[in-house]
Structure 1
Amino acid sequence: MKLEKILANLNSFEKNSFLKIIDGILANDPQNIKEIEKILSDSSKDLKNMDNINVVRVFNLVQDEFSQCIVEEFVNTTSQLDILSDIITKDGNSIMKQDWFARLYEKELSKLDKKLKDFKKTIESGKGDVSEQRFRDYKIYRSCLSTAYNNDKDNNQERKITTDELSIILTLSQQLELSQEEIKLINYLIIPIQKQDIDMVINDLKIMGVIFYSKKTSTIYVADEVIRILRKIRGKEVADKFFRRVLRLLREPQINAICRKHQIDWRLPVDEKIKAIIRDGIKFSNVLTEDVHKDGTNVTDKKKFINELCDKGLNITPAIKGTLIDEKVNNLIKYFDEIERDEKVGISIDGYEKLLIELGEVLKTLNERLRIEFELQDEKVLKSNYLLDYNIKPRDVLEIVTGKELEEFCKIKGIKTRGDIIQNILENYKDAENLYLENYENIGFRNFNLLKENGITIKEANLGVKFEELTKTIFEQLGFNVDEPLRKKLNTTKDKADIILNIGNNELIIVECKTLKESGYNKFSSVSRQLKAYSKCVENTDYKVIKSLLISPDFSDEFIKDCGLEYELNLSLITASSLVKILEGFKNSKHKQFPHNLLMRDVLIQEDRVLKAIGK
């Protein structure tokens, strides 16, 4: 669940610990302090009194400092933050009841205790499937960790691992290519593990700002933004679902090679081996660059493998860039990160709901499989809004279904099975109009990767026109009269306004739409000339332009400043995301027509103010 939505579900007391952490960071002048001060000056200077949208904006600007606060907690050897963060960053664990979290914690400790006994026996006997080289790696890491932890005792001080020691230990583990599970096992051979009271665990995590806790409902919330930070700290480069997607494209001998290197039983069924690889925190980039390849594989063959995986296996277009292998893999990780951050689901929400209903009718065990795969505690989970709160999208659901079952489902529903069967199913459940509106901002940003991932195929030349069409649709749904005949009448061969909103009483609003490939639209002089030309076209008629609006995915600070100084146009700016949120709020309001006066006030229209006004 997104941070903004979580904050909206909580009272001020339940947000308090998180806001204290942010306040502490702000007191020490973080690197983005100037941008933060601008947000604070435009709203309340007290975080507690700020609206949730601005709190999220501030948090996004202090993520590096917030991450450092969490890293420092790993120095505390009694925090068990490695165990706890591995639990709360798993797909499906972002919203949990207290008793469910307690059960997962106990289950994790029990599994860890058993593994520790087996691991200790193996490492001390030198026997088993572990290679001589791997035994050597374990002993090196164990000796260094033991020295770091115990040297304080020799100096008659409390035993702990300092921040400097921790950074060296982390570097060592990376160079030895140890998985998170191997690191965890060796750590707890040196530092004995102790079960803690669950109320104390929750309170500690809350004080760190890692989780939110609602005492009224006994519910733990972990924001998607915090999960990404925790994963990065733990060295997990992609979400489990994306790792699973890639592993399922590998041949079984390649899966076995990964298992042998990291002491996973290669005799298990393929799905069990894939789960173990993900569960053990094996580094995604190492899997693709080293683990799947035989000793002595040359760079050319490794490049060929990664290119085929991206182009043919994952069907990513345009192709992932990168000359060097590491560049290619890093760009693949960024690609998955973009997809995860995107709130769109690949098909419309209505289409997702229909897909879940019909899948559940054909595959009777799907509900239970989803619960097990994502560790969901509710009984009935085949609901689109419920799954989206856990960031579980249609493709994620389809990827836990076997190929044979998907084929059977397609036959029953009359869906073609040739080619990419998952893509064929998603295509069948599209709702074109809703899907385009859900991807409005991506179209504005001309983001081909996300558009393709979300099931939209469109030519680059058509993106600007599609952005205009969707903007018209949004204003129509807001109850405006999008006067197309008048627009055609007023336009000349040289000057053509994108949209004319006829407010009545011969009053008009001119709307201009701009797409862009990068953040921050900054061509103010150009758009200013355009809008002045459009206004002149109206001057010799009975109509009067009372407002000009510019819609774009983003605006630079300089553009917003120049717009504020422009007095002739009465121009306001609206970002694509703000316009969509205003539409969503309008649909849930009592209004049949949007009050256009709300668009007359600000230079950059703030959706939170508009939503408060129409929500009264």
Structure 2
Amino acid sequence: MKLEKILDKLGALEKNSFIKIIDNIISQNPKNGKEIEKILSSSNKGLKSADNQNISKIFHLIASEFTDHLKCEFQEANSQLDILIDIIIRDGNCVMKQDWFSRLYETEIKKLKVKIKVLNTELENDKSELSESRKRDYKIYKNCLSTAYKNDIANNREAKITSDELSIILTLSKQLNLSQEDVKLINYSILPIKKIDILDVINDLKNLGVVFFSKKENTIYVADEMVKLLRAVRGKEIAEKFYRRTLKLLREPIVNQISKNYNIDRKLTNGEKIEEIIKEGISFTSLLSNDIYKEGSNLTEKKKTLNELCEKGLNIQNLKGSTLDDKITSLIEHFDHVEKDEKVGISLDGFDKMLTELNKDLPKLNKELKEQFELQDEYVLNANFLLDYNIKPRDILDLISKTDLSKFIKNNEIKQRGDDILNILDHYKDVENLYLENYENVGFRNLNLLKENGISIKESELGLKFEELTKVIFKGLGFDVDDKFKNQLNTQKDMMDILINLGNNEIIIIECKTIKEKGYNKFSAVSRQLKSYQNLALKNDLRIVKILLVAPDFSDDFIYDCEMDTEMNLSLLTATTLSKIFESFKASKFKEFPHVLFRDIVINEERILKALSK
């Protein structure tokens, strides 16, 4: 769930710890201080009075400073912060009831204690499956950690690991190529591990600023933006779902090779090994640099293998970069972009339809999803619910076996040639709704984003498509979009885009503009155009209730010129605001949108959404 959406759900008290940390960072002159100051000065209010959208923007601007704040907390070696963060950054754990989080925490502690016993036994057993070199690495790290922790006792001080000692030990773990799970097990075999009261755990995480807790709903929220930041702190470059997507493309001998390198039970099934590899916390960069190749592969062979994995398996053509490291960085950036993108690749209606039909053909899928993503609700095959957990259509299909995918494709008459997953996504695309979900991208003429979101369109067609989509939205708002009457009025010289007929000779005129850069700024040209439409309507004895100009964005100069205009009843409406009004209207009690709400110079989204929710 996005930060802004979570903040909208909470009261001031529940946001207080988070706001305090951001306020403290702002007071220390962060690198993006000028941009932050501009956001706060635009409303002439401090951070506590800023709206949730602006708080979200400011968090994005202080992300690196917030990361430093968290890294300081990690200096406390026995804080259990590694255990807790590893729980809350798992796919599906961004929204949890308190009792569910408590259960996950208790389970994690129990599993750790069992694994620690197994590891200690393996280290002492001459016949263990651990190689001698791996045993040596574990013992070196364990002995160094033990010395750092216990040397205080010899000096009659409380046993602890200082920040200097910790930084040396972390460097040692990297040089020994230990996974995060290895480090965690050895750490807690030396440092005492005990279960902390769950309310204290939640309170500590809340004061740290990484979670929000709603007492009213008894629910913990972790923002998508925070999950990404916490993953970076833990050295996890990509989400588990993308890690899984990559591992599932590897041949079983390679998966076995990785399992052997990281002491994973080779008796497990291939799918279970993949899950264990993910849980180990092995760096994705390390995996792609060393672990997925046949022994003895040279650099050229490694690059060829990685290119084939991306092109044939992940459908990423022409991976950027000349060196292996560059290519790995490009792949991580690709997954990062996919995760940030709020679009789902198919429409919401298409997503829901796909889930309904998957549930019909694969009745065990609901249970498998619950277990895979640790979801608490009984029925989880709902598009809006899954998107709140940042789980998208592709993430669902990645979990389904090839046999079940083939069965589903045949049962639903989906194209069978080519890539199964891409064929399924294409089948449920629902083009009109997909265009509506990309309304702002059409307005900004963003061909690259449209292509990535499954829309193929020529640049020359974008202006007309933006106008068509605006018509669809106003029809959806219950208005009479009267093309016949508009065509009667239009002349060769004056051709208005959209005319809404309110009856009794009253109309609303709508003009649509697309732009490539942010900030539409051609007021003089558009005002001449709109005044000519106004004159045309007045000549025909029509009363113009409102003129609306719809564009993706407006510059400050454009807004100022509009405010100074005394000849037209003109309001400016951004594509994003219109989309949100449309979504809110569909859930409201109104059958027709009350056009009197279009009364600002720049249409106030927040005020209209509140009015519709009453």
TM-score of the aligned structures, taking structure 1 as reference length: 0.87
Matched, 1:338 2:330: no
Matched, 1:534 2:529: yes
**Cα distance, 1:343 vs. partner?**
2.3
CA contact (8 A) 1:109 1:195 kept: yes
CA contact (8 A) 1:146 1:190 kept: yes
**Cα distance, 1:523 vs. partner?**
6.9
Question: Residues 108-507 of structure 1 correspond to what in structure 2 (within 5 A)?
Answer: 108-124=108-124, 128-146=128-146, 148-150=148-150, 158-163=158-163, 165-316=165-316, 319-444=318-443, 451-452=450-451, 454-479=453-478, 486=486
Amino acid at match of 2:607: R
Q: Match of 2:45, SS?
A: coil
Amino acid at match of 1:531: V
Match of 2:518 in 1: 521
Deviates more, 1:497-506 or 1:159-168: 497-506
Amino acid at match of 1:611: L
Q: Match of 1:541, SS?
A: helix
Whole-angstrom distance in 2 between the partners of 1:215 and 1:102: 15
> How many positions carry a matched residue from both structures?
604
**Cα distance, 1:550 vs. partner?**
5.1
CA contact (8 A) 1:359 1:366 kept: yes
**Cα distance, 1:233 vs. partner?**
0.8
CA contact (8 A) 1:490 1:537 kept: no
CA contact (8 A) 1:500 1:508 kept: yes
Match of 2:541 in 1: none
Residues 373-429 of structure 1: CA distance to partner in whole angstroms, max 9, x if unpaired?
111122222222222221222222222221111212222222232211122222222
Whole-angstrom distance in 1 between the partners of 2:254 and 2:459: 38
CA contact (8 A) 1:497 1:512 kept: no
CA contact (8 A) 1:440 1:576 kept: yes
**Cα distance, 1:147 vs. partner?**
5.3
**Cα distance, 1:304 vs. partner?**
1.6
Gap change, CA 1:412 and 1:528, over 3 Å in 2: same
Residues 465-505 of structure 1: CA distance to partner in whole angstroms, max 9, x if unpaired?
43343233334434556565748975768x98766667886
CA contact (8 A) 1:538 1:545 kept: no
Deviates more, 1:51-60 or 1:161-170: 161-170
Identity over aligned residues, as a percent?
54
Gap change, CA 1:456 and 1:540, over 3 Å in 2: closer
Match of 1:92 in 2: 92
Deviates more, 1:594-603 or 1:59-68: 594-603
Residues 315-369 of structure 1: CA distance to partner in whole angstroms, max 9, x if unpaired?
135x432222222222222221222222222222222222222221222211111
Whole-angstrom distance in 2 between the partners of 1:564 and 1:139: 70
Whole-angstrom distance in 2 between the partners of 1:491 and 1:311: 53
Question: Residues 45-84 of structure 1 correspond to what in structure 2 (within 5 A)?
Answer: 45-84=45-84
Gap change, CA 1:157 and 1:460, over 3 Å in 2: farther
CA contact (8 A) 1:510 1:545 kept: no
Q: Match of 2:408, SS?
A: helix
**Cα distance, 1:272 vs. partner?**
0.5
**Cα distance, 1:167 vs. partner?**
4.6
**Cα distance, 1:84 vs. partner?**
0.7
Whole-angstrom distance in 1 between the partners of 2:86 and 2:352: 30
Amino acid at match of 2:339: E
Residues 6-57 of structure 1: CA distance to partner in whole angstroms, max 9, x if unpaired?
2233333322222222232233233223322333333373444443323322
Whole-angstrom distance in 2 between the partners of 1:147 and 1:614: 64
Match of 2:560 in 1: 564
CA RMSD of aligned residues (A): 3.3
**Cα distance, 1:149 vs. partner?**
4.3
Gap change, CA 1:216 and 1:511, over 3 Å in 2: same
Gap change, CA 1:371 and 1:132, over 3 Å in 2: same
Amino acid at match of 2:407: E
The equivalent position to 1:609 in structure 2, one of 602, 607, 610, is: 607
Q: Match of 1:14, SS?
A: helix
Whole-angstrom distance in 2 between the partners of 1:148 and 1:395: 46
Deviates more, 1:434-443 or 1:77-86: 434-443
Residues 263-303 of structure 1: CA distance to partner in whole angstroms, max 9, x if unpaired?
11233211011101111111112212211113432222222
Amino acid at match of 2:536: T
Gap change, CA 1:393 and 1:196, over 3 Å in 2: same
CA contact (8 A) 2:369 2:380 kept: yes
Gap change, CA 1:109 and 1:363, over 3 Å in 2: same
Whole-angstrom distance in 1 between the partners of 2:208 and 2:357: 43
Whole-angstrom distance in 2 between the partners of 1:294 and 1:411: 36
The runs of 5 or more residues in structure 2 that have no matched partner are: 539-543
**Cα distance, 1:257 vs. partner?**
2.0
Deviates more, 1:335-344 or 1:536-545: 536-545
Gap change, CA 1:393 and 1:484, over 3 Å in 2: same
TM-score of the aligned structures, taking structure 2 as reference length: 0.87
The runs of 5 or more residues in structure 1 that have no matched partner are: none
Whole-angstrom distance in 1 between the partners of 2:160 and 2:465: 59
**Cα distance, 1:169 vs. partner?**
4.2
Q: Match of 1:521, SS?
A: coil
